[in-house]
Amino acid sequence: MGNYLNPGNSGFARIRNSVYVDKSGLINLINRSIHTVRHLTCVSRPRRFGKSFAAQMLCAYYDKTCDSSKLFEDLKIGREPGYTASYRKHLNRYDVIYLDMTAVIGEAGLTGMIPYLKRNVVEELQKAYPQMEIAEGFVPTLSNAAEAAGNPFIAIIDEWDAPIREAKDDPVI
């Protein structure tokens, strides 16, 4: 388990150990977009409406380095007949790249966040897939990582709007 690659299910397990409102229907929506031309999904809600909880849920569901079946079996996605086939097909089957942009900005600042992310994500990918070829660009490197892994990656970006919020008054950025 890394900081960015395959974060595991412990974040969602902590959430499930407290009061939890089942939002697992979102998983079915995401599952329907995998391997389609609509493979990018933006979950946008007002602040304090559970986006970070949803991001942790998605990490736990897709991350292939853990078994999350116990966390989902009593939720809507795990028990309702219309969802169960899709649920089983995608549960813990992918590498996940998880980015919390607020944390990244805290580590690297606004001007340093892109090189910081590139360096750290590529480093974790290289540890996980030493046979992966590092390309000059970040996107080709991610493509090479997916090829080395033998499966697509699921990228989950939490607080994706933080760079926009933080830079709103900065004329340089």
pLDDT tens digits, residue range 85-131? 889 999 999 999 999 999 999 999 999 999 999 999 999 999 999 99
Residue length, the chain?
Answer: 173
- The residue whose two tokens read 């974040």 is 11
Give the lowest-confidence range in 16-25, 33-42, 93-102: 33-42
Residue 68 sits at the vertex; the CA angle it makes with 118 and 21, to the nearest 5 degrees, is 95
**Which tokens belong to 93?**
């089957």
On the question of pLDDT at 49 being above 90, the answer is: no
pLDDT tens digits, residue range 69-88? 999 999 999 988 888 888 99
